[in-house]
């Protein structure tokens, strides 16, 4: 078991735990959610070429990606004005458009965003 730590409860965590009554219930809810999220990350993603990874890294490079931005990755690739050597832009767009939201989140997480 890890030592206790203080965390900031931003709007997503506040909404997630709003019905919990005490610290143990809140902690349990957060840990169950994290465990499930980690399992989703293990089972979802998209196989990317190195040039596709480079393209998405450039698109995501501004930092935090909101959920609506993750959903719009294919549109961002389509609108990008930069070139990446060896990139088949249309193939990447098709991969992103056919991916589930969990797949897209896993990709963004794998890229470190």
Q: List, for residues 69-88, the tens digit of each pLDDT value.
A: 999 999 999 999 999 999 99
Query: E strands within 30-98?
Result: none
The yes-or-no verdict on residue 59 having pLDDT over 90 is yes
Number of structural domains the chain divides into: 2
Residue 91 lies in a domain: yes
Interacting residues of 26 by C-beta distance below 8 A, sequence separation 6+:
17, 20
Decide: residue 73, CB within 10 A, 0-12 exposed, 13-18 middle, 19+ buried.
Answer: buried
Residue 102 lies in a domain: yes
Residue 92 lies in a domain: yes
Residues 105 and 67 in one domain: yes
Domain ranges, residue 93: 50-110
pTM confidence score:
0.86
Residue 6 lies in a domain: no
> pLDDT digits over 4-42, tens only?
888 899 999 999 999 999 999 999 999 999 999 999 999
Residue-level pLDDT at 5:
83
Residue 78 lies in a domain: yes
């Amino acid at each position: 078991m890890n030592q206790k730590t203080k965390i900031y409860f931003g709007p997503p965590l506040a909404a997630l735990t709003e019905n919990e009554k005490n610290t143990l219930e809140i902690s349990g809810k957060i840990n169950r959610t994290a465990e499930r999220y980690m399992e989703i990350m293990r089972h979802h993603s998209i196989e990317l070429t190195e040039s596709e990874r480079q393209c998405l890294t450039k698109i995501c490079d501004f930092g935090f990606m909101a959920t609506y931005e993750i959903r719009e990755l294919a549109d961002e690739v389509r609108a990008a004005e930069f070139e990446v050597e060896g990139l088949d832009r249309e193939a990447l767009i098709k991969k992103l458009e056919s991916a589930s939201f969990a797949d897209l989140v896993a990709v963004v997480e794998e890229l470190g965003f």
